[in-house]
Structure 1
Amino acid sequence: MTSNSGIPFVNHSRMKTAYSELLNAIQSARGGTFVWAIAPSGSGKSEIRQAILPALAGKQIYWPAGTLPLISVRAMANDRGKFNSKDLTLRLHHAVVEPDFSWLEAQDRTISTDAHHLHAEAEVNNELWKKVRATQSQPRLQHSFESVAKQRQLKYIFLEEAGTLTMVHLHQTSYGYMSNLVRLIEEIGCVIVMLATHTAESLWAGHPDVWNRSRFVYIRPYNLTNPQDERDFVAVLKGIGKNFNLQDPRILVKNADLMYANGAGVFGPTIDVVHRAELRRRNEGASSITEAHLHASSSSEKELGTVWSSVLAFNKLADQKPLNGEKRIADFLKRVGTGGVER
C-alpha cells in the first residue's frame, strides 16, 4: 500500500483515531458549520480525507437522482503567491457541475491523494473554464455555484490547504473571505470541512461569527512521555519497517529516539528518514538499509528545530484547557466584567 508520495502507507493508531473523530464530527454537524481538522504538516490529513469521502457519501447507486452529497477542492495560492477568492469560487463551481467521482475508489490506497486535485487543476485551466473565469465576476460565479449546490442538495464541502486563506495581499484580510464562507455555507445549508495546520488559527481567532459555527478535531503527534503513545509509536516503526528491506528487522525500533527526534512524533517526517535511507542504500548499491544509512539520513539540529517548533506551536493550540471548575469560571466572569448568575 502506498500514499500520495509513493511512501508506504501505515494505517496507524493516530490515523484510525483521527478518522473516527473527524467522521463523527462531520456527521453530527448541522448545516452552516465549520469542521476543522487541524494537524501538523505530514500527519496524513489528505489520507484521512480520502478515506472519509466514500464513507460519508455512501454508495452512488443510493443517491437520489441529480444529487451530489459532497465535493472536495484545494485552496491555491496562485495569485502572485496569494489566495484569490474568485479562483476558489471557480473551483467550487467546477466541482459541482463537472464532478469527478474518482474519490469513490479511495479504498484503493494505490490511488494518489493528489489525483483528484490534479484532475481538477487540468480541468479549470482548459479553454471553457478560462473563459468562465474571464467573463464572470466573483459574486456572479458564487451565486451560480450556490444555486447549483442547492439544486444538487450538496451536504459537505471539503477544503484542503484551508490555511491558504491566510495568505492575502497587502491591505486585505482573511476575515472577509471567512465571512463570505459563513454566508455561503448558510445559504446552501451545508457543512464545510477545513483541513489545515495550526497556522490557520487566525481564520477563527477573534471572529465570533466563525468560532461559534466551528467544531475542532486535533490530530496530535505521538508524545513519547505518554506510555501508550510510546507503544503506539513503536508499532508505527514496526509497520514502516515491513515496507523496506532492512538489514535488521528491528533497526527502526532500536533507533526509536533518532526516529522521534527527526519526526517529532508526526508520521510523515518520521517515515521520510527511512525514505532517505533507502535512497542512500540504492546509491551505494547495498542490499539492505543499515544503521549507518539511517544515521546518515538524520536531519541537522537546525532543520529539526524547524520541525519541532512547528509541532510545539500546534501543541500549544491543541492543548488549550476548557474553562471549567467553579473557581475558574467565577474568576473568568470577574475578569470579563460580570459577577455571574445570582443563585
Structure 2
Amino acid sequence: MNQQAKDKAVSSIYLHAPLKRALNQCKGFAELAEPGSIGTCVGPSGAGKSVLATMLGPEVYGKRDSWQSGTTPYVVVTADNPDRGYFSTKELTRSILSELDDPFRTPPWQLEAKGLERRLAEAVQIAEVSSLRNCTEPMMRAVIESIGPQKRLSLIIVDEANMLALSTRNRVPTDYLEGLRILGKKAGCKVLLFGTVELLLLGGYSAQFNRSEIRIHLNRMCCDDKAGREEFASFLVKMSEKWNVDPSVVVKNVAHMYDWTYGVPGEVEKRLKLAAIRSAGSSKAITWDDIRSSRPSREEIDRIRMEADIVQSVIDDVPLTIQQAKAIQRKRRPSMGAKRVNTGVAA
C-alpha cells in the first residue's frame, strides 16, 4: 500500500472511545518519553493495534510530505520475520534501516536528491561494507545509531511485536527488548511495541524491563453501561455503512453482535465482511440471515473472550485463573517451555 492509500485509510477510521484513549496515550509516549524508553501497546487480536500503529506517526509528526527535507521522525516496521520459526533481530534491524533510506540499497542519485549523500556515505564508512547483503547485524545497528540522530529519528514503531516471544532455546526474549532499548538510546529515539498478550508476559523474564516498561491498553468496546452500549451501536452503524449493510439490521441485533464479537472491532468487521462475501453475486441487499450465517462457532467465541479477558487481567495485575494460564501455555511454542513465565496463576 502506497503512502497516499495509507493516508486515505487512516482518514476513514472510526475513532471509538478505546481507540481514541489508546491513541492519546501513545501520543503522550511519543512526545514525552526519553530516548531509549520502551513502550508496549497491548490488546486482543482484532482490537486495532495495527490500525493504531499506522495512525500514530502522522498524528504526532505529520504526513511525510510535511517533513523537513532529509529527516525521518519515525519509522514503522513489522516483526513478522521468523527465521526457521524463531524471531530474527537481524531482519528487524534490516527493516528499520530500510525505512531510513538504507544506504546499502538506495542509489547514489536518490541520496543526492534527498540531500543525504554526505551523511549516508559517512554511515557506510562506519560499516565498512558496500552492500546490505554482506552487512552483519552489528554493522547495521552502527549505521542506524549514526544516521538516526542526523535524520532526527524520534520513534521506532514495531507492529506484531509479540513475535519477540519466539526465541531460540539459548536466548531470553528480553535480550531482544534490551537490544531495542540500547539501539533507541544510541539512535536518540523511543521504541513503541504493539502486540498481543504474549508481549505483556515478556515482563516475567526481567524485573528491569517491568520497571522501565510503559504499558498502554487498547481495549475492546465494553457494553457494561449505557455509554458503552451506545458506543458499540455507533461503531456497528459505521461498519454497516462501510460494507453496504442497512444499519437498522445490525442495530436491532446489537446483543447478538456483541455476543459473537465481545466488542472486538476486528471481529465485527470480519462478520460483516463474510456476510458481504456470502451475498456477493446476488441482487438482494445483505440480510440478517447473511450476517447470522457468518457468526463464529461457540469455540471461536470462547477463544475471543478468553484472549480479551487475559489481556485485561494482566493489565490489571490480577492473577490468572488456571484455565487462562493453560490457554497461554497452549499458545506458547514448545521451545519456550523451559523458560520462566510469570503468570501469577490463581488457585
Shorter chain as denominator, the TM-score bin is: 0.7 to 0.9
Q: Which residue does 1:26 correspond to in 2?
A: 30
Residue-by-residue CA offset, 1:77-136 (whole Å, 9 max, x unaligned):
33112211111111112211349xxxxxxxxxxxxxxxxxxxxxxxxxxxxxxx845422
> Alignment partner for residue 308 of structure 2, among 299, 311, 326?
311
Q: Which residue does 2:258 correspond to in 1?
A: 260
Amino acid at match of 1:308: R
Residue-by-residue CA offset, 1:183-236 (whole Å, 9 max, x unaligned):
211222211111111121233334233233321210111222233211111111
> Alignment partner for residue 80 of structure 1, among 75, 79, 84?
84
| Cα distance change, pair 260–39 in 1 and its aligned pair in 2 (3 A) | same
Q: Which residue does 1:171 correspond to in 2?
A: 170
Amino acid at match of 1:142: R
CA distance in 2, matches of 1:173, 1:32: 20
Amino acid at match of 2:317: Q
| Cα distance change, pair 236–177 in 1 and its aligned pair in 2 (3 A) | same
SS in 2 for 1:92: helix
User: Post-superposition shift, 1:64?
Assistant: 5.2
CA contact (8 A) 2:154 2:189 kept: yes
| Cα distance change, pair 59–89 in 1 and its aligned pair in 2 (3 A) | closer
Write out the 4+ residue segments of structure 1 that deviate beyond 6 Å after TM superposition: 1-5
User: Post-superposition shift, 1:50?
Assistant: 2.1
SS in 1 for 2:47: coil
| Cα distance change, pair 89–2 in 1 and its aligned pair in 2 (3 A) | closer
Matches within 5 A, 1:153-232: 153-232=152-231
CA distance in 2, matches of 1:60, 1:242: 30
Residue-by-residue CA offset, 1:117-166 (whole Å, 9 max, x unaligned):
xxxxxxxxxxxxxx845422221221122112122231111111111111
Q: Which residue does 2:72 correspond to in 1?
A: 68
User: Post-superposition shift, 1:244?
Assistant: 3.5
SS in 2 for 1:97: coil
User: Post-superposition shift, 1:286?
Assistant: 4.3
SS in 2 for 1:157: strand
Amino acid at match of 1:154: L
Residue-by-residue CA offset, 1:32-61 (whole Å, 9 max, x unaligned):
111211111112222222222122223667
SS in 2 for 1:212: helix
CA distance in 2, matches of 1:65, 1:274: 43
Amino acid at match of 1:51: M
SS in 2 for 1:37: strand
| Cα distance change, pair 45–4 in 1 and its aligned pair in 2 (3 A) | farther
- Name the % identity: 23
Matches within 5 A, 1:36-51: 36-51=40-55
Structure 2 unpaired stretches of 5+:
104-129, 319-347
CA distance in 1, matches of 2:206, 2:162: 16
CA contact (8 A) 1:182 1:210 kept: no
Amino acid at match of 2:94: L
CA contact (8 A) 2:39 2:192 kept: yes
Q: Which residue does 2:119 correspond to in 1?
A: none
Q: Which residue does 1:12 correspond to in 2?
A: 16
Matches within 5 A, 1:71-150: 71-98=75-102, 132-150=131-149
Equivalent residues, number: 287
SS in 1 for 2:100: helix
Q: Which residue does 1:299 correspond to in 2?
A: 296
SS in 2 for 1:204: helix
| Cα distance change, pair 301–179 in 1 and its aligned pair in 2 (3 A) | same
Structure 1 unpaired stretches of 5+:
100-130, 322-343
| Cα distance change, pair 134–259 in 1 and its aligned pair in 2 (3 A) | same
| Cα distance change, pair 137–201 in 1 and its aligned pair in 2 (3 A) | same
User: Post-superposition shift, 1:16?
Assistant: 2.3
Q: Which residue does 1:277 correspond to in 2?
A: 275
Residue-by-residue CA offset, 1:292-328 (whole Å, 9 max, x unaligned):
112111111112121111111111122237xxxxxxx
Amino acid at match of 1:263: T
CA distance in 2, matches of 1:3, 1:306: 33
SS in 2 for 1:250: helix
Residues 159-168 or 143-152, more deviating: 143-152
Amino acid at match of 2:211: N
CA contact (8 A) 2:161 2:193 kept: yes
CA distance in 1, matches of 2:43, 2:13: 18
CA distance in 2, matches of 1:252, 1:3: 29
CA contact (8 A) 1:77 1:167 kept: no
| Cα distance change, pair 252–65 in 1 and its aligned pair in 2 (3 A) | closer
Q: Which residue does 1:111 correspond to in 2?
A: none
CA distance in 1, matches of 2:7, 2:183: 33
Amino acid at match of 1:240: M
| Cα distance change, pair 308–51 in 1 and its aligned pair in 2 (3 A) | same
TM-score scaled by length of structure 2: 0.75
> Alignment partner for residue 286 of structure 2, among 285, 289, 293?
289
Amino acid at match of 2:251: V
CA distance in 2, matches of 1:25, 1:34: 9
User: Post-superposition shift, 1:167?
Assistant: 0.9
